Amino acid sequence: MASAAQLAIMQQTALVESTLHRIVGHRGVAGYVVMSKEGSVMRAVGFEDNRDMVKKYATRMFQFTQLAHSVVRTLDFDDELTFLRMRWRHREIILAPDSNREYILLVVHDKITEAEDLVRKAQAQSMAAEKVGGAGGQDGGASGGGALEKGGQGGGINAGMGDGEAEEEDT
């Protein structure tokens, strides 16, 4: 029979496992890495089983986490780094050190969806057709290239996809 402490550890482990399984189940998640406080990889899931990519993310993001923690402590000694989110055009990285700073969870999320990918491909084809046919060519307006072109400037079909612009987020 398991003691109360062993039972608590088993329940906590099951909770962590279910949370990690839920994270991987989200659309666009490329993978996650659990690192020790020394930066060694304890577990990695995803990344198409590319160990070099896992090592690259773990090494660089561990160093970045240490630097971010130092900055937070320099600004306010009583404060702690609890969550760090970096976003750019196609990717998002989330770093979450645990409260005891024993582990660091790194989640890599590819933000581009299949629909966005199709729009981008159509946009590229439209631009290529306009270059070949010229601005006044037969295909210039009939293909819908005008709407897609406007989308690349922040409106139309591509609105909100973050084409070259930083996305703002309410906190």
Query: What was the pLDDT predicted at 113?
Result: 64
Averaged pLDDT, 17-44: 89
Averaged pLDDT, 120-138: 70
Query: What was the pLDDT predicted at 147?
Result: 37
Write out the DSSP string of 32-66: EEEEETTS-EEEEEEGGG-HHHHHHHHHHHHHHHH
pLDDT digits (tens, 9 = 90+) for 80-121: 999 999 998 888 999 999 888 889 999 999 876 667 667 777
Query: Is residue 31 pLDDT above 50, yes or no?
Result: yes
- What is the C-alpha separation between 65 and 105, in angstroms, rounded? 11
Query: What was the pLDDT predicted at 34?
Result: 93
Averaged pLDDT, 42-55: 89
User: Residue 111 in contact with residue 91, Cβ under 8 Å?
Assistant: yes
Question: Phi and psi at residue 118, in whole multiples of 5°?
Answer: -65, -40
CATH code of 26-110, in short, is 3.30.450.30
Q: Is the pTM of this model over 0.85?
A: no
- What is the C-alpha separation between 64 and 70, in angstroms, rounded? 10
User: Residue 151 in contact with residue 162, Cβ under 8 Å?
Assistant: no
Averaged pLDDT, 13-37: 87
Share of the chain above pLDDT 90, in %: 35
Query: Is residue 124 pLDDT above 60, yes or no?
Result: yes
Domain boundaries, the chain: 26-110, 114-158
Query: Is residue 149 pLDDT above 70, yes or no?
Result: no
Query: What was the pLDDT predicted at 145?
Result: 39
